[in-house]
Chain A
Amino acid sequence: MAHAHSVKRHKGLMDWLTTVDHKKIAILYLLAGGLFFGIGGIEALLIRVQLAKPMNDFVTAQQFNELITMHGTTMIFLGVMPVIFALMNAVIPLQIGARDVAFPFLNALGFWTFLFGGLLLNLSWIMGGAPDAGWTSYTPLSSTTYSLTHGVDFYTIGLQIAGLGTLIGGINFLATIITMRAPGMSYMRMPMFTWTTFVTSAMILFAFPAITVGLVLLTFDRILGANFFNVEAGGNPVLWQHIFWIFGHPEVYILILPAFGVISEVVSTFSRKRLFGYSSMVFATILIAFLGFMVWAHHMFTTGMGPVANALFSIATMLIAVPTGIKIFNWLFTMWGGQITFNTANLFASGFIPTFVMGGVTGVMLASAPADYQYHDTYFVVAHFHYVIVGGLVLGLFAGLHYWWPKMFGRMLNEKLGKWEFWTFIIGFHLTFFVQHFLGLIGMQRRVFTYLPNQGFDLMNLVSTVGAFLMGVGVIIFLVNIAISFKKPVGLPDDPWGDGRTLEWSIPSPPPEYNFKQTPLVRGIDALWKEKVAGHTEMTPAEPVGPIHMPSPTILPFLMSVGLFIAGLGFMFTSDDFGNSFLNFIFSNYIVTGIGLAITLGSMLLRSLFDDHGWHIEPEELNNKGVKA
């Protein structure tokens, strides 16, 4: 590796558009995720305003359908997924003692395709109507017969492009964790968050192809007039449900497993104890992933699969409670007898445990097929999945953001505001969703845009709306907290919590762009804690100081994603009449699509034809401390 190149360093906006540094990509994911989380949150509040009182006419039925569809789609695919990827990008290379991910170029490409897919989906609001067939987009409701606008086309093509980014990210983290662990870090010495990221990435690899195929089929049905889901022409609408849930059920475990990892790290750090039952945690994670692929049809108990299928999927679903229970008890035993610090991160983690258990219990109730005939499509289901996704995943993400914020940005978040944030959010959360269990049990259906008075729904819906606004207040306090933290100067010790156990706490906050000046030698589980116990202040290096090879920044991932965005938009409007002969010409002859694809393929050609060997940071530079991220 002797070819040292001078590197072109970009500044300002260009630096962010061309970066391949995992720490900067993490910040980009966080910004984009925050943006979509905000949009999804506003949609949630509008839904709750409409449902606050009976016979409300705050929005029309059509607008309500668009709101619930976009709320679900945005939150799952564009809100929480990128925040998960933000944490993975910020933390995983640091936790395993690596200098970047395995494929830095692909990492950037994954982010930009996700962002442009998400933007395309949200463009539907101002381009003739958002998707309105629910986040599951069941056929025939999502077919051109019942969904006349381009909404569902934005859904299929936007998610296709965004899904590409997720798949790329998953493959990247698999390769990173398999090949780039520091010397001495065997699989059974990996931190728990690394383990859950590893298993989540494997699930992404196996689950996302299913939705890719499903979205292609639905796109063909809608735009090219195919009949995969059209009964009249021999298609089968239930096929969509199978394909969607073969992806969709693993997807919810893809969401929750990283949260399990975060909770394991936070609980262990702030109890000043090693994670209880580490190997059983690993086993439980893998078992959840495996079972996650075997239970998709529990979303389809009422489609008439028959008693044998329903019984099998019922039992398989209930089995998942076993490994999940293992995890819950392990967290409790980790806390038991520990020196617990209840700071904001640990409050969110401790709030997670009982809240997630409640979501799990309603999950086992729903797993019972006969009972599910009663719960199906009622607010009981809405309460259940918000308990596991918001009460589980979102609390986990808040815990993770508070825990790793000092590492990502070199600034502490305010603890006092953090506690306000936690209490408003969790009280608001339970107010919003606890009552929805009972709304469902007394018969309120989900996805209805209004309801008649005096059915016992009125008060509980109002409570739910008040709770939703309280959650909004919690999020606003979090944003204020972030804004205040950026007023402070950067400057924190390597291990600002004082109790850091894993490798990310052995390097500066924020880390330099090469992360580790010397790759550390890992001598056990909780590598840094092990050194601390042995009386050392830092990790033993596994290599002498030498030149560090770095990847070059590049604009190509951005251009490839812009190309896909243009191609997707062009493909959607091929059979529209714009009332303008020029526009009609370029859209109906696939010229717009062609331009977009030409940009993407041209960028790929450039990437293939011109080798970029990267550049080196020389040891003199490292010693001068001249290089800062």
Chain B
Amino acid sequence: MTNHDSNGGAAVKHRHRHEGPQKHVVAFIFSIALTLIAFAAVAAGGVNTAFTVLILLVMAVLQVLVQLGYWMHLKDKGHMIPIIFMAGGFFVAATAVVAALYWMWW
């Protein structure tokens, strides 16, 4: 249906409250900083490759959280359904990959 006027009361409505640009500026700086740290970790070389990989992974996870929370608005109200579905999808996929790999190769 494309009739926007009669959309259901139970329907989830996007509420983009006016919150000013400050939070987005902070999130943007945060994203850039995470990227720079990752690049710096590789450029610095360091003694231990495993440690560099660990830093990259931590930066990647933080980056995903910032992207989803701020830019995809998942931290705002009315986004419970996308969060549930993303978490569900992640759980199912992770179980399948880990279990299948475990029983095939280890």
Contact = CB atoms under 8 A, between A and B. Distances in A.
A93 B1 contact: yes
Nearest to B6: A519
B85 A181 contact: no
A546 B103 contact: no
B2 A186 contact: no
Contact of A180 (B7, B89, B92, B103): B7
Contacts of A99: 1, 3, 6
B44 interface: no
Contact of A185 (B2, B6, B10, B92): B10
Contact of B5 (A100, A101, A238, A543): A543
Interface string B68-106: 000000000000010001001100110110011001110
A307 to B, nearest CB: 12
Interface string B12-24: 1000000000000
A179 B8 contact: yes
A332 to B, nearest CB: 31
Nearest to B3: A549
B11 interface: yes
Contacts of B85: 174, 202, 205
Interface size class of B (residues with CB under 8 A): 20 to 34
Contact of A305 (B4, B6, B10, B103): B103
B2 A100 contact: yes
A183 B4 CA distance: 13
A98 B103 CA distance: 47
A171 B99 CA distance: 27
B46 interface: no
Nearest to A22: B1
Contacts of B7: 179-180
B8 A549 contact: no
Contact of B6 (A93, A306, A543): A543
A63 to B, nearest CB: 35
A174 B6 CA distance: 19
A183 B10 contact: yes
B103 A614 contact: no
A178 B81 contact: yes
B9 interface: yes
A181 B8 contact: yes
A102 B11 contact: no
Given A186-B10, A293-B96, A306-B103, A102 B1 contact: yes
A496 interface: no
A104 B3 CA distance: 12
A469 B12 CA distance: 51
Contacts of B1: 93, 98-102, 104, 180
Contact of A178 (B6, B12, B99): B12
A308 to B, nearest CB: 9
Interface string A210-223: 10000000000000
Nearest to B99: A297
Interface size class of A (residues with CB under 8 A): 35 or more
Nearest to A174: B85
Contacts, number: 92
A1 interface: yes
Given A101-B1, A242-B100, A184 B9 contact: yes
Given A206-B92, A293-B95, A294-B95, A183 B8 contact: yes
Contacts of A543: 5-6
Interface string A293-310: 110110000000110010
Contacts of A181: 8, 10-11
B103 A1 contact: no
B10 A551 contact: no
A182 interface: yes
A452 interface: no
Interface in A55-97: 93, 96-97
Interface string A499-523: 0000000000000000000010000
Contacts of A294: 95
Nearest to B9: A183
Nearest to A308: B103
Given A202-B85, A210-B96, A236-B104, A179 B11 contact: yes
Contacts of A243: 100
B104 A549 contact: no
A104 B2 contact: yes
A542 interface: yes
Contact of A202 (B3, B88, B100): B88
A246 interface: yes
Contacts of B3: 1, 99, 548-549
Contacts of A49: none
B78 to A, nearest CB: 11
Nearest to A289: B88
B6 A614 contact: no
Nearest to B11: A179
A239 interface: yes
A296 B99 CA distance: 10
A154 B83 CA distance: 38
Contacts of B99: 297, 309
Nearest to B102: A309
Given A238-B104, A246-B96, A246-B100, A549 B4 contact: yes
A231 B3 CA distance: 56
Contacts of A320: none
Contacts of A546: 5-6
B98 to A, nearest CB: 11
A517 to B, nearest CB: 11
Given A104-B2, A205-B85, A549-B3, A97 B8 contact: yes
Interface of A: 1, 93, 96-102, 104, 174, 178-187, 202, 205-206, 210, 236, 238-239, 242-243, 246, 293-294, 296-297, 305-306, 309, 519, 542-543, 546, 548-551, 614
21 contacts: A98-B1, A100-B1, A179-B8, A182-B10, A184-B9, A185-B8, A186-B10, A205-B89, A206-B89, A236-B104, A239-B100, A239-B104, A242-B96, A242-B100, A294-B95, A297-B99, A309-B99, A549-B2, A549-B4, A550-B2, A614-B2
Interface of B: 1-12, 81, 85, 88-89, 92-93, 95-96, 99-100, 103-105
The 8 A-B pairs at the shortest CB distance, nearest first, are namely A183-B9, A99-B1, A242-B100, A100-B1, A549-B3, A519-B6, A181-B8, A181-B10
Given A183-B10, A551-B2, 13 more contacts: A1-B4, A99-B1, A99-B3, A101-B1, A178-B11, A179-B11, A179-B12, A180-B1, A202-B88, A246-B100, A293-B95, A309-B99, A309-B103
